[in-house]
Amino acid sequence: MDLSLFDLDNTLLAGDSDFEWAQFLIEQGVFDAEVYSARNAAFYAQYRNGTLDINEFLEFQLRPLARHQRSELERWQALFVQTRIMPLVRAPALELVRQHQQSGALCAIVTATNSFVTAPIARLFDIAHLIATVPAQQDGRFTGAPRGLPAFREGKIARTESWLESLGLHWSSFSRVWFYSDSLNDLPLLNRVTHPVAVDPDETLAAHAKLHGWPILALHSAATDASC
C-alpha cells in the first residue's frame, strides 16, 4: 500500500486558504482593513520566502476564533468555503487525488493552516484524513492559541508520524510514500518521503527539485509527468 500526502495551499488549491481566510474576515469587518490587509500580505510574503515566524502568525490567525461565538464562526466558515475556496478547486487537483485513492493509497492532507479553516476543504477533496495545526479549545470555545505542535516545517513530519502511530502504522508500513507540495517550507517532509513531487513550486523548491531529479507537476496550468 502507498501513503499519499498532499500539501493544501498552492498545491491542491490554486491559492492560499490562510491568506484568503484573513482577507475574508477583513471583508466581513472582523479585521480593520487598513491594518490587517498589510499584516496579512506581510505574513504571506514571509511564508513564501521561508522566514515566517509560525507562532507570531498563529497569534494573528487564531485570535478571531476566540473572539466570536461558534455559531457565527461556522456561518462565516460556510460562506468562506463557498465564495473564496470553491473557485480555487480545480479539476486536475481533484483528479490527482482520485488517482491515488483509486490505487488504494492511504491519503491525507498535511497543512500548516488551522483545522477550522481546512476541515471543510478536505471534505471538498473527499480526503478523510487531515493533519493540520489544531486550534486549542476550552469549554467549547477557541482560545486563540494552537494545541500542540503546529504542522509547519519539521512539525509536519512529527504530526504525520503521530497520526500514523494512532493508526498502528509507520513509514515502513508503505511501499511508497508520496508528498506533493509547492513550498520550500515543506523541504523537511519532502526529503523524508520516498516520492517527493514539487507542484507549481516556488523558486527555491524548483531549484531543489531539479537538482535532485524530483518530478515537477504543474497542477494549475499544464501537467507534467508525475503519475502514480
Q: What is the pLDDT of residues 32-83, one digit of tens each?
A: 777 778 888 888 888 888 888 888 888 888 888 888 888 999 999 999 999 9
- In the chain, the number of structural domains is 1
Which range marks the domain in which residue 47 is found? 2-217
Alpha helical stretches, state H, the chain: 17-27, 33-49, 54-67, 70-80, 91-102, 115-124, 154-166, 187-192, 203-212
At 104 the pLDDT is 97
Cell of residue 220, nine digits: 494549475
| 9 catalytic residue (yes or no) | yes
Q: For the chain, report the end-to-end CA distance as a whole number of angstroms.
A: 12
Mean pLDDT value across residues 130-138: 95
Please state the rounded mean pLDDT for residues 4-30.
93
User: Of 2, 7, 16, 202, which is the active-site residue?
Assistant: 7
- Judge whether 61 lies within some domain: yes
Nearest CA to 190 among 3, 56, 5?
5
Residue 222 lies in a domain: no
CA angle 92, 114, 180 (to 5 degrees): 35
**Which of 2, 9, 18, 186 is labelled catalytic?**
9
Kindly compute the dihedral angle of the four CA atoms of residues 41, 47, 52, 54, in this order, to the nearest 10 degrees. Answer: 100
Domain assignment present for 181: yes
H helices then E strands: how many in the chain? 9, 7
